[in-house]
Amino acid sequence: MERAKKCELTSDQCVIRGEAFFVRGLIELPVLGHDEVFSWGVWVSLSERNFLRASEMWENPARESEPAYFGWLSTELFPYEPTTINLKTMVHTRAVGLRPTVELEPTDHPLAVEQRTGITMERVRQLAEAVLHAGA
């Protein structure tokens, strides 16, 4: 992709042939009984209009007061069935230097349920193990 014409990729944003627009964000799952969260780094597709607005505000401290942007989850998180591709999301910007948080539509998808209700430390271990052993 890096060699493709009209494609741009940074650690936080991606544009493919001027037709597809993505931002990187975090899906945070509360860990029950802890102040910490388990975070999935994901890509979310945005409309061109929302992507351009997010880009315009990227380094602006006022971005925290921006309304959330609608998007589609574009990352397959393989521990989850059914697929996580194209789940509806809202992307919430945070302070400059922090990745946006990604809020899933409140459906019965297991990932959306875990985001709403939280996960146990045992589930954190299961997810970490699944990720670490994915290539094995």
What is residue 66's predicted lDDT score, i.e. its pLDDT?
A: 96
pLDDT (0 to 100) of residue 1: 47
Among 45, 29, 53, smallest CA distance to 111 is for 29
User: In this predicted structure, what is the pLDDT of residue 134?
Assistant: 74
Whole-angstrom Cα distance, residue 33 to residue 49? 40
Amino acid identity, position 47: S
pLDDT of residue 132: 87
pLDDT band at 4 (very low <50, low <70, confident <90, very high): low
pLDDT of residue 55: 96
Helix (H) or strand (E) holding 48: helix 48-57
Residue type, 90: M
Cis status, amide bond into 110, omega within 30 of 0: no
Give the per-residue pLDDT at 136.
54
Q: Sketch the domain layout of the chain as residue ranges.
A: 7-132
% of the chain with per-residue pLDDT over 90:
90
Q: Which of these ranges, 9-13, 20-24, 74-78, 130-134, has the smallest mean pLDDT?
A: 130-134
Report the pLDDT value the prediction gives residue 95, as an integer from 0 to 100: 97
Provide the pLDDT for residue 83: 97
Residues 6+ apart with CB under 8 A from 60: 96
On whether the CB atoms of residues 106 and 87 are closer than 8 A, the answer is no
Output the pLDDT for position 3.
54
Average pLDDT over residues 39-55: 98
Give the CA distances from residue 54 to residues 16, 79, 88, in Å, rounded to whole numbers and listed in that order. Answer: 16, 30, 18
pTM: predicted TM-score of the whole model, two decimal places: 0.92
- pLDDT tens digits along 14-37: 999 999 999 999 999 999 999 999
